[in-house]
Amino acid sequence: MSNRLLLIVVLLSSLGLTACKISTEPTTPEPLVASVETPNEAAPSDMDDPAVWVAAERQRSMVIAAAKEGGWRVYDLEGKALQQFVPGVDSKGKPLNRFNNVDVQYNFNLNGRRVDLAVFSDRRQDRLAIYKIDRDDPRGPLVNVTSPEISRLFPTRPNPDDRSKTVANAEDGKNTAYGLALWRDRSNDRLYALVNQNNEAIIDQWELVARPDNTVSARPVKKWQFAYQYKGQDLTQKSETDPQKDFSPQFEGMVVDQQTGILYAGQEDVGIWRVNLKTGVAEGKPFYETRTFDPHSRIARDVEGLTIWYGRDGRGYLLASSQGKAHGKVPNPTPGLDNTFAVFMREGDNAPIGSFSIGANRGLGIDAVQESDGADISTVALPGFPFGVLITQDGYNDDLNHLDGTVKATNLKFTPWQRVANSFSKALSTDSNYDPRNP
């Protein structure tokens, strides 16, 4: 203690006052680390995309996740497994389902009953897999309500020789259902699924439709086909030896702003596009490019999980995972910006704010997040997460094998939103009154 500080304490004592504890240590934000993680998923399971379901009784809220060929999982807010689905296999031992992405929506009109739904994209079946969410159902909390008559999502694909025409699409999981996001249009009380096509620059809109037998089907509404070239680069170019010459036109990560009806869609190698679902108009170019096309970009190929934190009065933040292909055989052209999440303003032109990464929580034995694929945010205060929570897929659980691209060990990490907010020099907002049931 310095002489000056000691003198102050003595003077306060002589006046009969109690001196408060005075710290000379600098104040720093809480470290940006996760506070919860789910059990490890090893091959053939591969955790991919999470979605937070907010229950009316907040403590009963859950995280629902797609685990690809491992099926799907449901966790409570402490990361404990509540339910799982493991697919059967065909005659060759190959899983019959490959669940790629998942999203949740509330208050779907199922023949006069309002139910919440979790919807998966099934890449192997090329269909939507639709589940009713009910914590009180003894079969649940997820109960399959997919209509047995639901149609394929992508029975055709663009003809590679003339993309103004189509050809029949094999049901082999190669050019089938991939990324998914849901949107409930409050103006007509209809629920839509936005699904993109693997290996193609295609996004389709489907309306979910209740059937008389209380199952749910879907009907096609609209298709957007984007360019297969960007700034002179052929997005179908392939190379087994030079990753800088290996491209894909496909989208995956998507999120819909439930208040504005704007779809944000990540074309993995190119950038983030905006589509106005109310008008059906897609902008002519992405509003933010990857580093391949903008050397100053905070997103490396490939851009992945997109999610939104909703603030008051239309404010908030759009987050995007810079998965980056930073490990293994693919070089990292700009060290320090991969394994990160880029943050944009939600309002206006989505101006970029900065980036953050999620480090290891040594105290709880939770490792860092690398090459995150899917992500989701609950803006609602939940037990253990008073300002909301960011759920991220971790592509290298336990940081195994020096992150060399060969280990299939994945899981989910739960990070309190205030840790994300406080990691910026000018803290992000934690003030929200958003209700996902009535956005």
In three state form, how does the secondary structure of the chain look?
CCHHHHHHHHHHHHCCCCCCCCCCCCCCCCCCECCEECCCEECCCCCCEEEEECCCCHHHCEEEEECECCCEEEECCCCCEEEEECCCECCCCCECCCEEEEEEEEEEEECCEEEEEEEEEECCCCEEEEEEECCCCCCCCEEECECCCCCCCCCEEEECCEEEEEEECCCCCCCCEEEEEEEEECCCCEEEEEEEECCCCEEEEEEEEECCCCCEEEEEEEEEECCCEECCEECCCCCCCCHHHCCCCCEEEEEECCCCCEEEEEECCCEEEEEECCCCEECCCCCEECCCCCCCCCCCCCEEEEEEEECHHHCEEEEEEECCCCCCCCCCCCCCCCCEEEEEECCCCCCEEEEECCECECCCCECCCCCCCCEEEECCCECCEECEEEEEEECCHHHHHHHCCCCCEEEEEEEEHHHHHHCCCCCCCCCCCCCCCCC
User: Torsions phi, psi of 20, nearest 5?
Assistant: -75, 165
The pLDDT of residue 19: 34
User: Torsions phi, psi of 84, nearest 5?
Assistant: -145, 155
**Tally of CB atoms within 10 A around 364:** 11
The pLDDT of residue 16: 38
Sign of CA dihedral 154, 155, 159, 164: negative
Q: Are 323 and 304 in contact (CB under 8 A)?
A: yes
Q: Are 218 and 193 in contact (CB under 8 A)?
A: yes
The pLDDT of residue 2: 46
pTM: 0.91
Chain position carrying tokens 């663009």: 158
Residue 8's region, left for phi above 0, alpha for psi from -120 to 50, else beta, is: alpha
The pLDDT of residue 406: 64
What does the alpha-carbon distance between residue 95 and residue 338 come to, in Å, rounded to a whole number?
32
**Tally of CB atoms within 10 A around 391:** 26
Closest CA to 392 of 264, 327, 266, 304: 304
What does the alpha-carbon distance between residue 147 and residue 8 come to, in Å, rounded to a whole number?
76
Q: How far is CA 286 from the centre of its chain?
A: 19
For residue 10, give every residue at least 6 positions away whose Cβ sits within 8 Å of its Cβ, in sequence order, or none: none
The third-level CATH classification (topology) of the domain covering 3-422 is Neuraminidase (2.120.10)
Q: Are 309 and 432 in contact (CB under 8 A)?
A: yes
**Tally of CB atoms within 10 A around 45:** 22
Q: Are 71 and 47 in contact (CB under 8 A)?
A: no
Give whole-number Cα distances, 152 to 5, 59, 148, 156, in Å.
74, 37, 11, 10
What does the alpha-carbon distance between residue 70 and residue 86 come to, in Å, rounded to a whole number?
6
In order along the chain (439 residues), what is the average pLDDT of each group of 10 residues? 41 36 36 93 89 97 97 98 96 95 98 98 98 95 98 97 95 95 97 98 98 98 97 94 88 97 97 98 97 93 94 97 66 64 97 95 94 95 97 88 68 97 96 96
Q: Where are the domains of the chain?
A: 3-422
What b/e string do you get for 92-119 counting C-beta neighbours within 10 Å, with b at 16 or more?
A: eeebebbbbbbbbbbbbebeeeebbbbb
